[in-house]
Amino acid sequence: MEKDRTQRYVESLERTIKSDYSYLKETIDEFREMCQMIKPERSLPHGIVVDIREIYKEIRNRLTEIKAIEQLLQGKYRQYYHRDSLRDKEILEIGFIAKNSFTKFEYTLKQKEALEKDLGQI
């Protein structure tokens, strides 16, 4: 009886990982495109900056949740957990792409602010 309940709990944790992973796969391409839309010489609506930051925050939250669940499964529930190394690799890649895209986005915003400041002094 206890084993059954534990197995169901592990399965629910694995479903959460799959759900988060699906969200990340669907979101990362759109996020990358949004980050690449920002150019220092172009004007942009303020809403897109807020959207990019919110999406990045959600991506980071999902990655953190996946990592925490995997640590729990690998520690306490190791005998019930079956690792998916391909999925783990893709999750790492998504994290790298998100961080890299967001860093470039932030750098571009700083360039845009500097450009506007320089133009304002002329």
- String of DSSP letters for 46-66: HHHHHHHHHHHHHHHHHHHHH
Confidence label for 46 from pLDDT (cuts 50, 70 and 90)? confident
CATH number of the domain to which 26 belongs:
1.20.58
pLDDT of residue 2: 67
Q: What is the pLDDT of residues 59-86, one digit of tens each?
A: 999 999 999 999 999 998 888 888 888 9
Q: What is the pLDDT of residues 93-122, one digit of tens each?
A: 999 999 999 999 999 988 888 877 776 655
pLDDT of residue 121: 59
User: Nearest Cα to 108, choosing from 33, 39, 57?
Assistant: 39
Quote the number of domains for the chain: 1
- Residue 1 pLDDT > 90: no
**pTM here?**
0.86
CA distance 60 to 57: 5
pLDDT higher for 1 or 5?
A: 5
- Could you tell me the residue range of the domain that residue 56 belongs to? 2-121
pLDDT of residue 3: 72
Sign of CA dihedral 86, 88, 94, 100: negative
